[in-house]
Amino acid sequence: MDLALVLFKRECALVLRKPGDALSAVFFFVLCTTLFALSINPEPQLLRALGPGALWVCALLASLMVVGELFESDWRDGTLEQLLLSPLPLPATVATKALARWLGSALPLVLVSPLLGLQFELSGSALLLLPFTLALGTLALVFVGSIGAALTLGLRSGSMLLSLLLLPLYIPVLIFGALAVAGAQNGSGFEAELSILAALCLLSVFFAPFASAACLELACE
Amino acid sequence: MKINWFYFSSPPRFYALAGRLSPLFFALALLLATLGLYLGFFVAPTDFQQGEGYRIIFVHVPVSWMSMFIYLVIAFWSAMALVMKTRISMVMAQALVPTGALFTFLSLWTGALWGKPMWGAWWVWDARLTSELILLFLYLALMALRAAIDDERRADRACALFALVGVVNVPVIYFSVKWWNTLHQGASVSLTRAPSMASTMLAGMLVMALAAWAYTIATSLKRARTLLLEREGDSEWARRQLAGDAR
Amino acid sequence: MFETLDLGCCKGRRTLFSGLGFSLAAGEVLHLSGSNGCGKTSLLRQIAGFAPLQSGQLRWQGQTVDARSLSWRARLAWCTHQPALKDELSVGENIRTSLRLAGVEADDEAIQAALAQWQVAAQWPLAARLLSQGQRRRLALATLSLLSRPLWLLDEPFNALDDAACRQLWQAIHQHAAAGGRVLFTHHAAVAGVRVLALEDFA
């Protein structure tokens, strides 16, 4: 636990020293949603109907960016090998890094999302719900994504491959996240979708680190 | 008597066995497909609702079943490869992927051909169709992952891990797509639940399903043989085999 | 006693070495020699448990060890040309964190003293990105002595080091051996006065 804390502090320090890297995902998210709004007819009716889905797709693509660099720098400078020799079990290492990365890159995205929701004229309850679903969803996406990041570590065209591997696995989170927001938007209820999203999030936070650890060991051979 | 489960996990023995079985299964597949298509196209009665167009299900349904089943088989061999570390398991998992992708593609294609006259659209966001499309993405991802990794051992194990992660996700994906679909479209059009299926229809479909099985076994064994030779190219038995082929 | 029995390595279709075995008593230093591409690094990586053993086994005090277990890895210090330094952090932060992640509680004076031996103590407050290649190597090697792990695995440790640093490394190796540690290092050139294991003998 102590060691996990040390690692966590280092990861946070790295994010804070280079905030630009961490925040690029947020800029991407903001730009992407704006482009979405620009590409369609800005009729309130249409914007409201497309809003939840558009916001979610952009958040999903942004978290793909978050995940891409998860192990890359550690792998390049030899830190990963030293982490393998640390008494901290590898799944805990992965979980700590993913959590720190989520805090550094995905949480800002979650925080700005209500503002972007305004662009799509979402209703009050949908605006409130959007950050919650995004928080749960991006946490699940980052943890599941760590598997893909470990699998493609050090490969040619790794980022292309990463999206090919991860997008099919991201579909459930996308569906339930967008449905929950849409449910709040048209008042048809969102509790069921939100609970399933929370369940997906818990499952991936619990199980994904073990799979990523196995993939990381493989990448370090 | 003690059964040696690993008897055929030795590459030369497996190579010989696959060499003997694969032509047999090819013949079987040909025979069954001819019989199944005959039953489907000539014997089975015309559907009173869908006319003659429905006959594509004799291809569509068996390939769809097979496409999903092959993914499960790949996951099984991947698990075996990771746990038992037998090389044949990995070769089998690798050999099945192209056939699986082919069947998934065929399933989507025939589905579209069937959908146009029935629903008036080439593509409907039906839960089953969508899941099938995602399955195709998973197959393509498996192939891309293997192509991207040079080291054979790492490629094997990475693909095995990804196949297992995928197989855990497939039910979740199916469930979520179904949930999404029922919310958006109400009851979806049922693909296979024909009101009352004539027994000849059922027979035709089952025979075609068996033909798909035989074809899958035959091609995967054939491919596994080639992969084995490629991997074990410098071992004694493979050299002898290659020399024999050249003669 | 640390022993390896019947280790082997194949890359693709080529066998790099096979039937390799050696033993290393406490206080012994072993030089793995061989030309480029003969499997020196692969052997070290197998012993470190990064790459799986393709054959044979590792034994520690007579017991077979699982090279991928945490208990085995806790005995190893590993040093390659990658110094595992984070550019964004200062030298002090880097060393302190990597020691703590390795499970070592060292106070700053001890660390500074070790760095002073390697003539990099003055760099303590600097960001790691300002260091030269040689200074990075010196830092990585300075951390080795602080780790207090019994088996050192060093991959080409003399690369990019100047004469003074080479002498310092020899001193560190002999100190570690004198304290009952074991050192296994690769080097392309011949070294006087150290037991040699030529990988070509097992090709």
List pLDDT tens digits, range B143-155.
999 998 888 888 8
Tell me how close the Cα of C56 comes to any Cα of chain B, in angstroms.
16
Q: Which residue, among B152, B180, B182, B185, would best test binding to A if mutated, counting the most A CBs under 10 Å from its CB?
A: B180
Domain positions in chain C are: 1-75+150-203, 84-149
What pLDDT, on a 0 to 100 scale, did the predictor assign at position C192? 76
List pLDDT tens digits, range B177-191.
888 777 655 444 444
Whether A218 and chain B come into contact, CB under 8 Å, resolves to yes
Query: Considering chain C, what percentage of its residues have pLDDT values greater than 70?
Result: 100
Closest by CA to B165, choosing from A149, A181, A40, is A149
List pLDDT tens digits, range A113-155.
999 888 888 888 888 889 999 999 999 999 999 999 999 998 8
Mean pLDDT, rounded, for A72-79: 89
Q: How many CB pairs under 8 A join B and C?
A: 3
Is it the case that residue B105 has pLDDT exceeding 90? Answer: yes
Tell me how close the Cα of B45 comes to any Cα of chain A, in angstroms.
40
Whether C53 and chain B come into contact, CB under 8 Å, resolves to no
pLDDT band at A112 (very low <50, low <70, confident <90, very high): very high
What pLDDT, on a 0 to 100 scale, did the predictor assign at position B191? 47
Mean pLDDT, rounded, for A23-37: 90
Mean pLDDT, rounded, for A158-179: 90
Quote the tokens at residue A59.
Answer: 């958040």
Domains in chain B, number: 1
B152 contact residues in C (CB cutoff 8 A): 12
Find residues 6-45 of chain C whose CB sits inside 8 Å of chain B.
12-13
**For position B96, which CATH number holds?**
1.20.120
Tell me how close the Cα of C112 comes to any Cα of chain B, in angstroms.
41
Query: Considering chain A, what percentage of its residues have pLDDT values greater than 90?
Result: 49
A84 contact residues in C (CB cutoff 8 A): 49-50, 73
Residue A180, domain extent: 2-219
Mean pLDDT, rounded, for C150-169: 87
What pLDDT, on a 0 to 100 scale, did the predictor assign at position B159? 93
Mean pLDDT, rounded, for C155-168: 86
Average pLDDT, chain A: 89
What pLDDT, on a 0 to 100 scale, did the predictor assign at position A8? 92
What pLDDT, on a 0 to 100 scale, did the predictor assign at position C65? 87
Matching CATH number, C1-75+150-203, of 3.40.50.300, 3.40.50.10800, 3.30.450.40, 3.30.70.3000: 3.40.50.300
Interchain contact, A218 vs B137, CB within 8 Å: no
What pLDDT, on a 0 to 100 scale, did the predictor assign at position B189? 43
Interchain contact, A221 vs C45, CB within 8 Å: yes
Is it the case that residue B45 has pLDDT exceeding 80? Answer: no
A155 contact residues in B (CB cutoff 8 A): 148-149
Q: Which residue, among C42, C89, C101, C154, would best test binding to A if mutated, counting the most A CBs under 10 Å from its CB?
A: C101
Least confident of A112-116, B50-54, B95-99, C18-22: B50-54
Closest by CA to C68, choosing from C85, C87, C86, C45, is C45
Tell me how close the Cα of A151 comes to any Cα of chain C, in angstroms.
16
What pLDDT, on a 0 to 100 scale, did the predictor assign at position C53? 85
What pLDDT, on a 0 to 100 scale, did the predictor assign at position A149? 94
B66 part of a folded domain: yes
Find residues 55-94 of chain C whose CB sits inside 8 Å of chain B.
none
Is it the case that residue B104 has pLDDT exceeding 90? Answer: yes
Facing residue for C73 by CB, picked from A3, A17, A84: A84
pLDDT band at C124 (very low <50, low <70, confident <90, very high): confident
Mean pLDDT, rounded, for C93-118: 87
List pLDDT tens digits, range C188-200.
877 777 888 888 8
B3 part of a folded domain: no
Whether C152 and chain A come into contact, CB under 8 Å, resolves to no
Is it the case that residue A176 has pLDDT exceeding 70? Answer: yes
Single-letter amino acid code for the residue at B40: G
What pLDDT, on a 0 to 100 scale, did the predictor assign at position B188? 40
Mean pLDDT, rounded, for C53-62: 86
Domains in chain A, number: 1
C11 contact residues in A (CB cutoff 8 A): none
Whether C11 and chain A come into contact, CB under 8 Å, resolves to no
Whether C78 and chain A come into contact, CB under 8 Å, resolves to yes
User: pTM score, two decimals?
Assistant: 0.89
* Strands, sheet with C195-198, edge to edge from the N-terminal-most edge strand: C76-79, C151-154, C182-186, C29-33, C195-198
Q: Which residue, among C9, C11, C13, would best test binding to B if mutated, counting the most B CBs under 10 Å from its CB?
A: C13
What pLDDT, on a 0 to 100 scale, did the predictor assign at position A97? 94
Distance CA C75, CA B173 (A): 44
Is it the case that residue B218 has pLDDT exceeding 70? Answer: yes
Whether C125 and chain B come into contact, CB under 8 Å, resolves to no
Is it the case that residue B192 has pLDDT exceeding 80? Answer: no
What pLDDT, on a 0 to 100 scale, did the predictor assign at position A151? 92
Task: Say how many C-beta atoms besides its own lie within 10 A of residue B76's C-beta.
Answer: 17
CA angle in degrees (0–180, nearest 5) for B95-B97-B101 = 140
Which range of A133-137, B114-118, B193-197 scores highest in mean pLDDT? It is: A133-137
B10 part of a folded domain: no
